[in-house]
Structure 1
């Protein structure tokens, strides 16, 4: 399934600039999060050489990975245990995966495989814009069912919102409907800081007002000079080259229960995806 043919939609950034400096007092010398990466960022490299790509990511200092529903499956043509062994050999822990649309029965089988290798999360990555807010209420009910399946297997379920859940629909925001309609004990969320910011939402308000719901995050920056609205390319850039204060965001996330942080760049400026992955790894390593 082709998940990422998105058109950049510009949004007001006033909420970001007006956000409070921190949500709570930061602990001096706070714990840096483990460096994670979503494998979709290096999808072409993974398709050509999964083992070689994982080896390079491990050498860059990444320790956690998030997979996705590739043409070879979330385990890249291997069994769950084979892929775990391969990743672990390069110092990488498979924490979570995005999955392709599937029935509840298929999802249950996937949860069985994930639980067997001690993964933490199965995450819905994409619902797409809908015609009615009622569709998102239906999705919320489905998420609760999948969350119950994950709980049965000792896993957790999550949803990864992109830009469209922050766009008003029938006078409401889909992201608010999904947060309100899902059981906090069964459904977590994976914030993409890039989309939250570019859609004009306040990421800190969401972290504060829904404490404990956003347990994971995707990390990429927003260009200071953004592309025009409707551009075919997203205004994304490597961390530290745009407007987002990642030290502030990571601190706020950790203060409100966020545990996993995955780099996922989508636009590459005179560099390859692996070069971007290395640059972002070094940026995270240098955070103080």
Structure 2
């Protein structure tokens, strides 16, 4: 993998939105409803979330206690995954909604197997007010033609979710940003899917360690990425699976990146932590919440 990390040099210049010819609606200031402004005029995120896979062991042991802890850390938005107990973690919709009200959070999305039992999962998701069902993994495909077939499947899934009031999104890993036959597979997925049916969740970390500047890529496809995973990478060029660190301890400049992302249609900033150099997963979740809650941009 060619290392193209440039540490986002002259990020603001690169993202001169007018120069890029972006639609006017993506050239405005970050939306105030997404942020709060302090006395110095800088903004802070009003809401942010966490992918509960970050605390999967705690979820497996006691999901209700774990949800309460995450709400206590300040996560107003949650993103689920199916840990073998279903997307509601064994709870009935009324019980689940009651818990979300108690902790002051909402489950905005869930990673799940969208290729099986889609309708039953969609019914549960809609009943508790989720907005997205997300495909978290398709694995490296053997050819660009195979990626085109996946894109066609994504369109069908997006169409099937419409009657439930839900949207479909795909979450990337690094492999869709690795050159194949002179093309970037992620570009195929972007170009072959209907924007009315398919959104995307940009994993900032996986794009970054694959040599992609996340902000540049967002600018290439404004409005297509509505959700993102926020996690940091330590400096260096080592194993991409071993570079994850707590937010603020790495080299991804999230203050600039969040500001630019909001200008390009991003709505949900979701923490994910997969590597824990120190401490427990819940301690990491608390630390990451403090970082995002105090970050000014």
Structure 2 Cα separation of the partners of residues 283 and 237 of structure 1:
13
1:144 aligns with 2:155: yes
CA distance in 1, matches of 2:245, 2:203: 14
TM-score with structure 1 length normalisation?
0.90
Q: Give me the whole-angstrom Cα distance separating, in 2, the residues matched to 1:56 and 1:163.
A: 31
Contact residue 16 and residue 201 of structure 1 kept, 8 A: no
Which among 249, 260, 267 is matched to residue 268 of structure 2? Answer: 260
Gaps of 5+ in 2: 18-26, 31-40
Report what 1:216 is aligned to. 227
Runs of 4+ with deviation above 4 angstroms = 21-28
| Mapped partners of 2:222, 2:105: distance in 1 | 28
* Cα deviation code 1:74-110 (max 9, x no counterpart): 111112332222232111201000002533xx21221
Structure 1 residue 203: Cα displacement = 1.3
- Which of residues 134, 146, 149 in structure 2 aligns to 1:123? 134
Shift of 1:123: 0.3
TM-score w.r.t. the length of structure 2 is 0.87
Pick from 87, 90, 95 the counterpart of residue 74 of structure 1: 87
Q: Which residue of 2 aligns with 1:90?
A: 103
Which SS does the other structure have where 1:17 is aligned? coil
Deviation at 1:169, TM superposition (A): 1.7
Q: 128-137 vs 158-167, which deviates more? A: 128-137
Shift of 1:259: 0.5
Alignment of 1:1-288 (within 5 A): 11-14=3-6, 16-17=8-9, 19-20=11-12, 23=17, 26=29, 28-30=41-43, 32-103=45-116, 106-226=117-237, 228-229=238-239, 233-288=241-296
The C-alpha deviation readout for 1:54-76, integer Å capped at 9, x for no partner, is: 11111111111000111111111
1:13 deviation in Å?
A: 0.5
Q: How far 1:32 moved relative to its partner?
A: 1.5
Q: Is the CA contact (8 Å cut-off) linking 2:227 and 2:267 kept in structure 1?
A: yes
Greater alpha carbon shift after TM alignment, 112-121 vs 64-73: 112-121
Q: Give the whole-Å Cα distance in 1 for the aligned partners of 2:196 and 2:42.
A: 31
Q: Measure the CA separation in 1 of the matches of 2:229 and 2:206.
A: 10
Q: Does the CA contact (< 8 Å) of 1:64 and 1:94 recur in 2?
A: yes
Over residues 212-253 of structure 1, what are the superposed CA-to-partner deviations in whole Å (9 max), with x where a residue is unaligned?
000000001010245x34x7x420111111111111111111
CA distance in 2, matches of 1:78, 1:266: 25
Q: How many residues align?
A: 275
| CA–CA separation in structure 2 for the residues paired with 1:92 and 1:242 | 28
Q: Which runs of 5+ in 1 are unaligned?
A: 1-8
Structure 1 stretch 44-53 or stretch 83-92: which is displaced more? 83-92
Cα separation, 1, equivalents of 2:197 and 2:7: 29
